[in-house]
């Protein structure tokens, strides 16, 4: 597949993710999809990935991920993104809803094979998110 086709797969994935169409994830994620960035003890699978999304949406009903940049080479696409959300739903990681608006950034790397996402790695500003939720103290504040 072309680099532009691979980017289009990520754009479609992001649209599905942002609109909670989890039943359509199979359109863009391979059967053997592996999310490589999970919380300790979680099994890397498509079902686990869906559960994480549902847990996040339960805590942050307005969760939205905006793609800032897409860079592709070969079978990989890198996405720099910004996530915005408000902690108004359920507890998140035993942290009661704060009502705080939260914005943080991250980078995801996807590997594409046969027109679908096979692997996903992500790094995000988890510390910044937790600080904005009021779960950890911010130095100097």
Q: Is residue 69 part of a domain?
A: yes
> Residue 38's closest CA among 46, 28, 26?
46
Q: Is residue 111 part of a domain?
A: yes
Q: Is residue 141 part of a domain?
A: no
Structural domain of residue 93, as residue ranges?
3-133
Q: Is residue 78 part of a domain?
A: yes
**pLDDT tens digits for range 34-83:** 988 877 788 888 888 888 888 899 999 999 999 999 999 999 999 999 99
Our count of domains for the chain comes to 1
> Residue 106's closest CA among 135, 128, 75, 138?
128
Residue 13 burial (CB < 10 Å; 0-12/13-18/19+)?
Answer: buried
Q: Is residue 139 part of a domain?
A: no
- What's the CATH code of the domain at 22? 3.10.450.50
What is the pLDDT, as a whole number, of residue 98? 93
Q: Average pLDDT of 100-129?
A: 96
């Amino acid at each position: 597949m072309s680099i532009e086709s691979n980017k289009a797969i990520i754009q479609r994935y992001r649209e599905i993710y942002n609109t909670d169409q989890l039943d359509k994830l199979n359109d863009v994620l391979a059967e053997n999809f592996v999310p490589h960035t999970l919380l300790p003890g979680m099994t890397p699978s498509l079902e686990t990935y869906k559960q994480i999304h549902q847990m996040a949406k339960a805590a942050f009903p307005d969760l939205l991920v905006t793609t800032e940049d897409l860079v592709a080479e070969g079978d990989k696409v890198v996405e720099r993104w910004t996530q915005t959300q408000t902690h108004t739903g359920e507890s998140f990681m035993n942290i009661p809803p704060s009502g705080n608006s939260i914005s943080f950034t991250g980078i995801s790397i996807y590997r594409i094979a046969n027109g679908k996402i096979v692997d996903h790695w992500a790094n995000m500003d988890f510390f910044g998110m937790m600080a904005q939720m009021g779960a950890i103290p911010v130095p100097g504040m």
